[in-house]
Chains A and B, each alone.
Chain A
Amino acid sequence: MEFSELIRTGRAQAELLPGPEEAPLRGTLCVTGHHLLLSPGPPSTPDLWLLLLRSVDSIEKRVAGDSGTITLRCKDLRVLQLDIEGVEATLDIARSIEALSSLESVITSFPFFYRPKGLRLGDAWHFHPPERYYKRVARETNAWRLSEVNQDFSLCPSYPRAVIVPRAVDDDALAQCARFRQGGRFPVLCYHHAPSGTVLLRSSQPLIGPQKRRCAEDEDLLRAVLTGARPGAQGFIVDTRSAQAAKQARMTGGGTEAKAAYPGWKRLHRPLERGRALQESFVRLVEACGDTEQSMDRWLSRLEGCRWLAHVKEALSTACLAAQGMEREGACILVHGAEGTDSTLLVTSLAQLILDPLSRTITGFQELVEREWIQAGHPFQLRCAHSAFSHARPKHEAPTFLLFLDCVWQLGRQFPLSLEFGEGLLLALFEHAYASPFGTFLCNSEKERCLCEVRTRTHSLWSGLNQPKEQRKLRNPLYVPNPLAIWPSVEPQSLRLWQGLFLRWTRPPEPSEVAWEKVWQIVTEREKTGDSAHSFCLSPQPKQ
Chain B
Amino acid sequence: VEQVKLLDRFSTSNKSLTGTLYLTATHLLFIDSHQKETWILHHHIASVEKLALTTSGCPLVIQCKNFRIVHFIVPRERDCHDIYNSLLQLSKQAKYEDLYAFSYNPKQNDSERLQGWQLIDLAEEYKRMGVPNPHWQLSDANREYKICETYPRELYVPRIASKPIIVGSSKFRSKGRFPVLSYYHQEKEAAICRCSQPLSGFSARCLEDEHLLQAISKANPVNRYMYVVDTRPKLNAMANRAAGKGYENEDNYSNIRFQFVGIENIHVMRSSLQKLLEVNGTKGLSVNDFYSGLENSGWLRHIKAVMDAAIFLAKAIMVENASVLVHCSDGWDRTSQVCSLGSLLLDSYYRTIKGFMVLIEKDWISFGHKFSERCGHLDGDPKEVSPVFTQFLECVWHLTEQFPQAFEFNEAFLLQIHEHIHSCQFGNFLGNCQKEREELKLKEKTYSLWPFLLDDLKKYLNPLYSSKSQRFTVLEPNTVSFNFKFWRNMYHQFDRTLHPRQSVFNIIMNMNEQNKQLEKDIQDLESKIKQCKNKQSDGVLTKELLHSVHPESSALKTSLCLKEQTLLPVNDALRTIEGSNPADNRYCDYTEEFSKAEPGVVSLEYGVARMTC
A residues neighboring B (CB under 8 Å): 236, 243-244, 247, 259, 266-269, 289, 292, 294-301, 303-304, 307, 309-310, 312-313, 317, 320-321, 323-325, 327-329, 331, 413-418, 478, 480, 482, 484-497, 499, 503, 507-508, 510-512, 514-515, 518-519, 522-523, 525-526, 529-530, 532-534, 536-537, 539-540, 543-544
Chain B: minimal CB distance from A482 (Å): 6
> Measured between alpha carbons, how far is A495 from B600 in the docked complex, in Å?
29
> Measured between alpha carbons, how far is A296 from B502 in the docked complex, in Å?
31
Chain A: minimal CB distance from B381 (Å): 30
Q: Which of B72-80, B205-213, B442-450, B517-525 contacts A (4 or more CB under 8 A)?
A: B517-525
B486 with A484: CB separation less than 8 A? no
Chain A: minimal CB distance from B21 (Å): 27
Residue of A nearest to B477 (CB): A511
Q: Is B591 an interface residue (CB 8 A)?
A: yes
CB contact between A492 and one of B287, B500, B512, B519 (< 8 Å): that residue: B287
A-B contact pairs, 6 of them (CB 8 A): A296-B301, A414-B501, A490-B586, A515-B464, A522-B463, A536-B556
B404 with A267: CB separation less than 8 A? no
Q: Is B581 an interface residue (CB 8 A)?
A: yes
Q: Is B441 an interface residue (CB 8 A)?
A: no
* Contact A266/B577 with A416-B504, A510-B402 known, Cβ cut-off 8 Å: no
A321 with B590: CB separation less than 8 A? yes
- Chain A contacts for B289, CB-based, 8 A: 492
A492 with B594: CB separation less than 8 A? no
A300 with B601: CB separation less than 8 A? no
- Chain B contacts for A534, CB-based, 8 A: 559
> Measured between alpha carbons, how far is A292 from B285 in the docked complex, in Å?
28
B285 with A491: CB separation less than 8 A? yes
CB contact between B529 and one of A292, A299, A417, A540 (< 8 Å): that residue: A540
CB contact between B563 and one of A512, A519, A530 (< 8 Å): that residue: A530
A515 with B405: CB separation less than 8 A? yes
CB contact between B507 and one of A304, A417, A495 (< 8 Å): that residue: A417
* Contact A413/B500 with A269-B601, A296-B481 known, Cβ cut-off 8 Å: yes
Chain B: minimal CB distance from A294 (Å): 6
- Chain A contacts for B581, CB-based, 8 A: 487
- Chain A contacts for B497, CB-based, 8 A: 489, 491
> Measured between alpha carbons, how far is A508 from B608 in the docked complex, in Å?
54
CB contact between A417 and one of B405, B466, B480, B504 (< 8 Å): that residue: B504
CB contact between B403 and one of A321, A511, A526 (< 8 Å): that residue: A511
CB contact between B515 and one of A417, A493, A526 (< 8 Å): that residue: A526
Chain B: minimal CB distance from A229 (Å): 16
Q: Is B534 an interface residue (CB 8 A)?
A: no
* Contact A317/B587 with A294-B481, A494-B498, A519-B508 known, Cβ cut-off 8 Å: yes
The 3 closest A-B pairs by CB, nearest first: A304-B291, A492-B290, A299-B481
- Chain A contacts for B511, CB-based, 8 A: 522-523, 526
A296 with B290: CB separation less than 8 A? no
Q: Is B274 an interface residue (CB 8 A)?
A: no
- Chain A contacts for B590, CB-based, 8 A: 317, 321, 324
> Measured between alpha carbons, how far is A323 from B588 in the docked complex, in Å?
11
> Measured between alpha carbons, how far is A494 from B585 in the docked complex, in Å?
11
* Contact A292/B480 with A416-B504, A514-B405 known, Cβ cut-off 8 Å: yes
> Measured between alpha carbons, how far is A514 from B584 in the docked complex, in Å?
35
Chain B: minimal CB distance from A413 (Å): 6
* Contact A491/B532 with A304-B288, A482-B577 known, Cβ cut-off 8 Å: no
- Chain B contacts for A310, CB-based, 8 A: 286-288
- Chain A contacts for B10, CB-based, 8 A: 491
* Contact A537/B608 with A295-B301, A478-B504, A493-B492 known, Cβ cut-off 8 Å: no
> Measured between alpha carbons, how far is A510 from B464 in the docked complex, in Å?
15
> Measured between alpha carbons, how far is A485 from B593 in the docked complex, in Å?
22
B573 with A518: CB separation less than 8 A? no
Residue of A nearest to B305 (CB): A296
- Chain B contacts for A526, CB-based, 8 A: 511, 514-515, 518
* Contact A415/B481 with A324-B587, A492-B286, A540-B529 known, Cβ cut-off 8 Å: no
* Contact A267/B598 with A478-B504, A525-B515, A530-B563 known, Cβ cut-off 8 Å: yes
- Chain B contacts for A532, CB-based, 8 A: 522
Residue of B nearest to A242 (CB): B604
> Measured between alpha carbons, how far is A540 from B295 in the docked complex, in Å?
66
CB contact between A415 and one of B559, B577, B593, B604 (< 8 Å): that residue: B577
* Contact A300/B294 with A511-B404, A515-B405 known, Cβ cut-off 8 Å: yes
B295 with A301: CB separation less than 8 A? yes
> Measured between alpha carbons, how far is A295 from B295 in the docked complex, in Å?
11
Residue of B nearest to A483 (CB): B574
Q: Is B545 an interface residue (CB 8 A)?
A: yes
Q: Is B485 an interface residue (CB 8 A)?
A: yes
> Measured between alpha carbons, how far is A269 from B603 in the docked complex, in Å?
14
CB contact between A540 and one of B549, B593, B605 (< 8 Å): that residue: B549
> Measured between alpha carbons, how far is A171 from B405 in the docked complex, in Å?
61
User: Which DSSP category, helix, strand, loop or mixed, fits chain B's interface?
Assistant: helix
> Measured between alpha carbons, how far is A296 from B546 in the docked complex, in Å?
71
Q: Is B552 an interface residue (CB 8 A)?
A: yes
Q: Is B582 an interface residue (CB 8 A)?
A: yes
Residue of A nearest to B542 (CB): A544
Within 8 A of A (CB), among B461-506: 463-464, 466, 478, 480-486, 488, 491-492, 497-504
Chain A: minimal CB distance from B553 (Å): 8
> Measured between alpha carbons, how far is A421 from B574 in the docked complex, in Å?
18
Within 8 A of A (CB), among B280-311: 280, 285-292, 294-295, 298, 300-301, 304
- Chain B contacts for A499, CB-based, 8 A: 482
B522 with A529: CB separation less than 8 A? yes
* Contact A415/B500 with A269-B601, A289-B482, A533-B522 known, Cβ cut-off 8 Å: yes
> Measured between alpha carbons, how far is A320 from B581 in the docked complex, in Å?
11
- Chain B contacts for A522, CB-based, 8 A: 463, 508, 511-512, 515
- Chain B contacts for A544, CB-based, 8 A: 545-546, 549
- What 0/1 readout, one digit per residue, does chain B (538-554) give for beta carbons within 8 Å of chain A? 00000001100100110
> Measured between alpha carbons, how far is A530 from B516 in the docked complex, in Å?
11
Other than A313-B287, A536-B525, give 10 A-B pairs with Cβ distance below 8 A. Answer: A268-B593, A296-B484, A298-B481, A328-B582, A492-B290, A493-B290, A503-B482, A511-B402, A540-B549, A544-B549
- Chain B contacts for A486, CB-based, 8 A: 501, 577
B594 with A325: CB separation less than 8 A? yes
B586 with A236: CB separation less than 8 A? no
- Chain A contacts for B526, CB-based, 8 A: 536
B546 with A309: CB separation less than 8 A? no
> Measured between alpha carbons, how far is A2 from B577 in the docked complex, in Å?
58
Q: Is B204 an interface residue (CB 8 A)?
A: no
* Contact A530/B518 with A491-B586, A492-B286 known, Cβ cut-off 8 Å: yes
Within 8 A of A (CB), among B423-463: 463
Chain B: minimal CB distance from A204 (Å): 20
> Measured between alpha carbons, how far is A369 from B399 in the docked complex, in Å?
37
Chain A: minimal CB distance from B109 (Å): 41
CB contact between A493 and one of B298, B301, B486 (< 8 Å): that residue: B486
> Measured between alpha carbons, how far is A414 from B500 in the docked complex, in Å?
4
Chain A: minimal CB distance from B605 (Å): 7
* Contact A259/B598 with A526-B515, A530-B563 known, Cβ cut-off 8 Å: yes
* Contact A416/B582 with A296-B484, A309-B287, A496-B485 known, Cβ cut-off 8 Å: no
> Measured between alpha carbons, how far is A266 from B599 in the docked complex, in Å?
11
Chain A: minimal CB distance from B488 (Å): 5
Q: Is B560 an interface residue (CB 8 A)?
A: yes
- Chain A contacts for B251, CB-based, 8 A: none
* Contact A533/B559 with A417-B504, A526-B514 known, Cβ cut-off 8 Å: yes
B556 with A537: CB separation less than 8 A? yes
A267 with B597: CB separation less than 8 A? yes
A321 with B484: CB separation less than 8 A? no
- Chain A contacts for B402, CB-based, 8 A: 510-512
> Measured between alpha carbons, how far is A312 from B600 in the docked complex, in Å?
25
A243 with B594: CB separation less than 8 A? no
Chain A: minimal CB distance from B542 (Å): 10
Q: Is B33 an interface residue (CB 8 A)?
A: no
